Amino acid sequence: MPRTFGIDPTILRTRAMTVAPSRLVAFALAGMTLFGFVLDEYDVPHDNVQGLVVLASGAFVGLIAGVLVASRPSLRDHATGLAWDAVRLVLGYEMIRYGIAKLTGMQFYPLYWRVDQRTDDLSPSSLAWAFLGRSYWYQAFGGAIEAASGVLVCFRRTTLLGACLMATALLNAVLINYFYDVPVKLVVSVYLLFDVALIARDWRRLRDVFLAPVERPQRGAWSRSLQGLAVALAIVVPTVKMLREGAEHRVFEQEPLEGAWTIDERTGAADATWERLYFEKDDRGSIRAGSTRLPFMKQLAGTQLQLAVSEPDRRYDLRVSFAIEGQTLRIDGTCDGQPCAMKLTKVFPR
């Protein structure tokens, strides 16, 4: 008979029948948590068979670990506690990470050319992202809930409170992802599953409105120190990580040209089909020319600006100086070596 991890499957089945279902659930969720944590670190769509296989593999490995631990009564309770700790801390880590991203304006970072599109030209997911990113305070409020609930579930005493608070944010995210066809349905659904499991685990406390006494296992000094270190890492690491990435992407600074600008006047060799210029935070941008969007790369040095515009049949080089007066941008220089000038008005953000 085939053997699983070197163990006779008959022995595994026999042991599994003697293990409390709640313990098996804890280990299965812990396995999914750890495998899912690695999966979510890759910023690619996971709503596919590969994502399901990875999570199912994690649950399977967790179940086997739970069955093996069940044969050692001296480790059973402690190992089950560690399994729930893995669920709590990884879920807390991820929610803090997403919460900080919203607070710093990173998750729904506006693409200015998309904001300017007609709604019927946008896909459901693009429409949702443009809508949610249009107001900073809306996403900041949601980010604060996510980050706060993530911190709360990192501590045993406040896990239930954090999980209940987290459920409001996760349910909202699940609804948006499914009904606006956002391609991260699998990951957010699994997070909601973890959160519901944490709430269900403490349903008696919820029933008693937190009044029922809770017994706490006695822990040694080393165990308490390691637990404190794990909690600190789950809170500090994602916070520092997202703040550092935010600084790298310049989300904390407003660049002078950043935004969408309408061309009101033009003289010289300026292209008559250009209607709007969109300057992003990085070195890219685009131009609306009728129904076409022309991408460009920009180089900015003081008040000197160089744009390399990619049109379907040629590249267009613009070297100018600029001056900003309130919501007005004036550009003067050369377009493909010929004198040109433009006057633009900022339309977003104001």
Phi, psi of 319 (to 5 degrees): -125, 115
Q: What is the CA radius of gyration of the chain?
A: 27
Residue 319 pLDDT class (50, 70, 90 cuts): very high
Per-residue model confidence (pLDDT) at position 1? 43
Q: What is the pLDDT of residues 69-90, one digit of tens each?
A: 877 777 778 888 899 999 999 9
Per-residue model confidence (pLDDT) at position 16? 47
Per-residue model confidence (pLDDT) at position 284? 87
Q: CA 173 to CA 16: how far, in whole Å?
A: 35
pTM of the model: 0.73
Residues forming CATH 2.40.128.20 domain(s) in the chain: 259-348
What are the tokens at 121?
């030209």
Question: How remote is the C-alpha of 233 from its chain's centroid?
Answer: 19
**Residue 166: strand, helix, or coil:** helix
Is the separation of the CB atoms in 195 and 170 below 8 Å? yes
Per-residue model confidence (pLDDT) at position 155? 94
* pLDDT over 70, % of the chain: 90
Q: Evaluate if residue 108 carries a pLDDT over 90.
A: no
More confident of the two residues 191 and 110: 191
Q: Evaluate if residue 238 carries a pLDDT over 70.
A: yes
Per-residue model confidence (pLDDT) at position 101? 92
Q: CA 305 to CA 240: how far, in whole Å?
A: 33
Q: CA 43 to CA 62: how far, in whole Å?
A: 25
Q: Which candidate, 326, 169, 343, 181, places its Cα nearest to that of 256?
A: 326
Per-residue model confidence (pLDDT) at position 14? 54
Q: What is the pLDDT of residues 9-49, one digit of tens each?
A: 555 455 544 557 778 888 999 999 988 888 877 767 788 88
Mean pLDDT of 64-70: 82
More confident of the two residues 349 and 193: 193
More confident of the two residues 114 and 307: 307
Per-residue model confidence (pLDDT) at position 301? 87
The CATH H-level superfamily of 259-348 is: Calycin beta-barrel core domain (2.40.128.20)
Full DSSP string of 187-199: HHHHHHHHHHHHH
Phi, psi of 150 (to 5 degrees): -65, -40
Q: Evaluate if residue 129 carries a pLDDT over 70.
A: yes
